[in-house]
């Protein structure tokens, strides 16, 4: 089974990027009616776990797009990565075009570049050196480093396509919300690459931390 891999929030709700809030609400209701456990269409298709993950992503998409500020920030990311075009974003965004969007900043590399620049600060480096020297690395440590660099979860999502729900589970050490180990390792590697820290240390430290939590 595939989840929503590779789809942005608009694609998940099956609406164009210039949808009104009314259309977003309606699309959300439609999506809920399809992914709910009493839906005739899907009740026998997904396991409870699969359904839970899909519903979380749908809710996350809705709560981002229905909030004007969050949506504007998300649109900026999509614009920068070239997933949507200026002309089709919602009207409220057209009035105040994001200043980051200039002609030479349209591809994904520039978003990545912009996000990475944030982690090059001196104080971030000191903090991450300190954290990486430990044997165990928890989700809180990841969060601390990310916040020190001033990087938002939605920005990590825009570059890596890892959903915000999963990123949150990683940061909050919620084992039941984590993907299978193989994927988790990959996600941790991407996460570390964005923060420009040693990915192998992050993977080893985090997995050790998780297994120590499980033993308790």
Q: Does 3 bind other proteins (CB under 8 A)?
A: yes
Among the listed residues 18, 42, 154, 196, the single contact to other proteins using CB under 8 A: 42
- Indicate the residue among 91 and 182 with the shorter CB distance to other proteins: 182
How many of the chain's residues bind other proteins (CB under 8 A)? 13
Interacting residue with other proteins among 69, 95, 176, 182 (CB under 8 A): 182
Return the number of the residue (14 or 134) whose C-beta is nearest other proteins: 14
Retrieve residue 202's tokens. 């992050």
Burial 61-94 (b: 16+ CB within 10 A, else e): bbebbeeeeebebbbbbbbbbeebeeeebbeebe
User: Is residue 100 within the footprint of other proteins (CB under 8 A)?
Assistant: no
Task: State the minimum distance, in angstroms, from the CB of residue 94 to other proteins.
Answer: 30
Q: Per CB under 8 A, does 48 bind other proteins?
A: no
Using CB under 8 A as the binding rule, whether residue 29 contacts other proteins is answered as no
Pick between residue 42 and residue 173 the one whose CB is nearest to other proteins.
42
Nearer to other proteins, 52 or 98 (CB): 52
DSSP H or E run through 59: helix 48-66
Of 54 and 194, nearer to other proteins (C-beta) is 54
Q: Is 2 in the site for other proteins (CB under 8 A)?
A: yes
Yes or no: say if 191 and 156 are a contact pair by the CB < 8 Å rule: yes
Stretch that binds other proteins, among 36-44, 56-64, 120-128, 206-214 (CB under 8 A): 36-44
- Which residues are at the interface with other proteins (CB under 8 A)? 1-4, 34, 40-45, 180, 182
């Amino acid at each position: 089974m595939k989840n929503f891999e590779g789809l942005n929030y608009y694609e998940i709700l099956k609406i164009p990027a210039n949808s009104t809030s009314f259309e977003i609400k309606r699309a959300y209701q439609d999506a809920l009616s399809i992914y709910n456990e009493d839906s005739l269409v899907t009740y026998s298709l997904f396991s409870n776990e699969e359904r839970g993950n899909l519903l979380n992503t749908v809710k996350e998409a809705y709560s981002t797009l229905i909030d004007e500020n969050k949506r504007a920030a998300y649109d900026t990311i999509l614009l920068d990565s070239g997933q949507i075009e200026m002309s089709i974003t919602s009207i409220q965004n057209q009035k105040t075009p994001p200043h980051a969007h200039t002609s030479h900043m349209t591809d994904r590399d520039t978003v990545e570049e912009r996000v990475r620049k944030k982690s090059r600060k001196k104080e971030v480096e000191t903090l991450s050196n300190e954290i990486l020297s430990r044997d165990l690395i928890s989700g809180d440590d990841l969060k601390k480093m990310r916040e020190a660099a001033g990087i938002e979860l939605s920005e990590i999502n825009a570059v890596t396509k890892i959903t915000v729900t999963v990123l949150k589970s990683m940061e909050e050490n919620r084992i039941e919300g984590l993907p299978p180990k193989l994927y988790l390792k990959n996600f941790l590697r991407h996460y570390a690459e964005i923060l420009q820290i040693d990915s192998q240390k992050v993977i080893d430290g985090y997995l050790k931390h998780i297994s120590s939590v499980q033993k308790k």
